[in-house]
Chain A
Amino acid sequence: MKRRFPLLLVFFFGLLGIIPYFVPHGGYQDFDNALRNDFIRILSAFAIILGLVSLLRVHQDKIKRKRENWQYSYVLIIGFVVSGAIGLFGGIEGELFLPTKIAGFQFDIQTLYLNIIVPLGATMFALLAFFMASASYRAFRARSLESSLLLSAAFIIMIGVLPLADSISSHLPSFAQWIMDIPNVAAKRGITFGIALGGIATSLKIILGIERSWLGGKE
């Protein structure tokens, strides 16, 4: 029963997800709408709480057992509690009862987001450009016909998307566009068909209970 019940649930709700695409009857569509708007949202709210509690427990455990880099878990927990309290009781821009401004120093959730999360995220991503430059300098070699073709296409696209491409040749931007429109689409469409067919097959196997690895544990 421990394994059969989740399988039955997946089968039942899997079918419920498919049927509305094939049954346009108003009654069923209403039912589908209610299921999505109410039931999934409630489930999702529980999932968020579960996720947050789980995250806190993992880091609490890390601190308790002094695992590698356990000090950073304090940063996470403090950040979690402080931003949670400011967001819940101070509002987006300090419109709730918790004061979010002390002598010109503002710390409402929007200010914190724009001044901490945004620069940190942008910095992390900007670093990628440096690694990419270094990696392409070392690894992007015309070792074979295929890699030479790839290299040529990359150069055409890289120059073709620049404003100066027009001054080199008026055909260059159009050629870069052609590479994206035709050879790129041909390859990507083949891959997408493969992925889609694989996705359908795997979904059916899960709904029908043939694929059970998601249950975890032994068969």
Chain B
Amino acid sequence: MKIIEYLSRLDRRIIYLVLATVVMVPLVIPTVPRVRVMTPVEKLFNAVEAIPNDQILMLDFDYDPQTLPEIEPMGVAMLRHAFHRRTKVAVLSLYVQPLGLAKKALDQVTEEFNSRATSYEDSIIYGRDYVFLGWQPPPIVPLLGMGISIVDVYQRDYYGYRTDSLPMMQRVKNFNDVGILVSLSGATAPLWWIAYSQTRFGVAVGAGITAVSASEFYQYYQTGQFSGLMIGMKGAAEYEEMVQSRLSITSRRKASEALGSLTAAHLTMIAFIVVGNIGYFIRKRKEKGVQR
């Protein structure tokens, strides 16, 4: 009994230490567990798979450093998927802060593909296979403006090139040329694409979001407004699993590697809550006994 009582009054520094240890150990010795792919992620994968040759994948990178570990693997996995099937990609951000992270993901995946490429045709070329549109404030401008003309909204890309001079943009006019727009966000950006762009122009929208904000998005997924969803680290790992199992791309899977930490952290927190509750009930029983 004394042990339980002691455990139910643990010093917070011990909690911090235990949590830090269980999170760090699986990161030091990473393993990739087998992940069961749930329907929302499978639907998103299939939606990207179904993009016709004359349409593009539009990726909205709207996460910041705070949510990077959860969302970045989604972006990387989606870029790998698109580049593998030679779907052209347009990348943008509704805010300024994610631009550096979008560039990092783009650089990483293009480097991966180009290091394996054997010819110019095989390579992933800027302007031909993908464009980085950058940032245009305020968000309402791209959300609605791209329904009319993408090059009018983004007259210059992130690097300062005129977008109408890029080969890929010669046949990409507006949302009619976008197979699906996937918003990767730590906040509510995917809902804006639904509220403004989809409602008015009918563009298909998918989302990659943090686990903590997932409950906000399910209602739009259930109505079919989101073509698919990736939720948190697990969602990213599921997409990585599909990219590997269906497309045989065997690059590093950061979200899958982090699942060990996630599992340990969840189980530790559950254990702490259970111990805390046991202590609570023991104290309650004792207090009742004293009252009697």
What is the CA–CA distance of A36 and B139 in the complex, to the nearest angstrom? 11
A117–B273 touching, CB < 8 Å = no
B60 at the interface (CB under 8 A from A): no
Of B64-72, B77-85, B117-125, the stretch lying at the interface with chain A is: B64-72
* Contact string against B for A residues 175-209, beta-carbon threshold 8 Å, 1 for contact and 0 otherwise: 00100110011001100100000000000000000
A48 at the interface (CB under 8 A from B): yes
Residues 17-65 of A contacting B (Cβ, < 8 Å): 21, 29, 33, 36-37, 40-41, 44-45, 48
A217 at the interface (CB under 8 A from B): no
A158–B215 touching, CB < 8 Å = no
B168 at the interface (CB under 8 A from A): no
What is the CA–CA distance of A126 and B215 in the complex, to the nearest angstrom? 21
Query: Which A residues are in CB contact (< 8 Å) with B165?
Result: none
Partner of B216, one of A48, A181, A188: A188
A161 at the interface (CB under 8 A from B): yes
B276–A138 touching, CB < 8 Å = yes
New A-B pairs, 12, CB < 8 Å, besides A37-B145, A113-B100: A33-B152, A36-B141, A114-B104, A121-B64, A133-B16, A133-B269, A133-B272, A140-B276, A163-B234, A163-B259, A163-B263, A189-B219
Partner of A161, one of B12, B19, B101, B232: B232
Q: Which residue of chain B lies nearest to A161 when distances are taken between CB atoms in the complex?
A: B234
A residues near B, CB below 8 A? 21, 29, 33, 36-37, 40-41, 44-45, 48, 92, 109-110, 113-114, 117-122, 124-125, 129-130, 132-134, 136-138, 140-142, 151, 155, 158-159, 161-164, 166, 173, 177, 180-181, 184-185, 188-189, 192
Nearest-Cβ distance from residue B40 to partner chain A, whole angstroms: 8
What is the CA–CA distance of A114 and B105 in the complex, to the nearest angstrom? 12
A134–B234 touching, CB < 8 Å = no
Query: Which B residues are in CB contact (< 8 Å) with A164?
Result: 33, 263
Residues 143-165 of B contacting A (Cβ, < 8 Å): 144-145, 148-149, 152-153, 158-159
Judged by DSSP, the binding face of A is: helix
Partner of B16, one of A119, A130, A162: A130
Task: Knowing A41-B136, A125-B67 are in contact, say whether A162-B269 is a contact too (CB < 8 A).
Answer: no
B262–A133 touching, CB < 8 Å = no
- Residue from A33, A129, A133 having most chain B Cβ neighbours under 10 A: A133
Query: Which B residues are in CB contact (< 8 Å) with A118?
Result: 65, 68, 100-101
What is the CA–CA distance of A48 and B137 in the complex, to the nearest angstrom? 9
- Residue from A109, A137, A155 having most chain B Cβ neighbours under 10 A: A137
Query: Which B residues are in CB contact (< 8 Å) with A124?
Result: 66
What is the CA–CA distance of A173 and B68 in the complex, to the nearest angstrom? 25
Task: Knowing A118-B101, A125-B66 are in contact, say whether A163-B280 is a contact too (CB < 8 A).
Answer: no
A163–B35 touching, CB < 8 Å = yes
B170 at the interface (CB under 8 A from A): no
Query: Which A residues are in CB contact (< 8 Å) with B39?
Result: 177
What is the CA–CA distance of A129 and B20 in the complex, to the nearest angstrom? 9
B187 at the interface (CB under 8 A from A): no
